[in-house]
Structure 1
Amino acid sequence: MTLYEYKMLSEDEQYDTVFSKGKFLDIVIEGNSKYVLYALDKFFVEVIWDNEKDEIIGIGQFKEGDSLDKYSNVPKEI
């Protein structure tokens, strides 16, 4: 599945696909939000949770960039 094909799915189908076929990679907690990163074919899917309500509040897809950088342990300034 390509990133384009994934984006063409309904939101429910996107969640079903990432949870059934995605490979869990990492979690980052910032404030009241938890960002859960999955790999799916040749792109990444980020599921965003509200920690206080314990519910999903968003989903994003990307191949690279700032969204992926938050999962790196490398400091922005060395």
Structure 2
Amino acid sequence: MKLCDYKKLNEEDQYRILWEQGVLIDACMDGEVKKLLYAIDNFYVELWCHTVTNKILWKLSFKQGKLLEKYLDKYSVQIN
């Protein structure tokens, strides 16, 4: 699935694809918000969940850029 096809889906279908095909890549805590990064084919979905209420606060799909870089910056890679 391509990112543009995913974005054309209604919210319910986007979540269905996320739960069925998404692979959890990373998770981090920011206060009472858990930020989860999922990969689906060639794009990513960032999900923010409130830890107390377990409600989804925000969802954004993307391919690259600052949203992805904040996760990549957590891991150092050394090439010899």
TM-score range relative to shorter protein: 0.7 to 0.9
Where does the alignment leave 5 or more consecutive residues of structure 2 unmatched?
none
Q: Percent identity?
A: 35
Q: Which is greater in Rg?
A: 2
Report matched runs for 1:1-78 at 5 Å: 1-72=1-72, 73=74
Structure with higher helix content: 2
Which residue identity is paired with 1:59?
K
RMSD (Å), alpha carbons: 1.5
Where does the alignment leave 5 or more consecutive residues of structure 1 unmatched?
none
Instruction: Count how many residue pairs are aligned between Structure 1 and Structure 2.
Output: 75
Which residue identity is paired with 2:6?
Y
The 8 Å contact of residues 47 and 58 in structure 1, kept in 2 or not, is answered as yes
Structure 1 stretches of 4+ with a deviation exceeding 4 A read none
TM-score by length of 1: 0.86
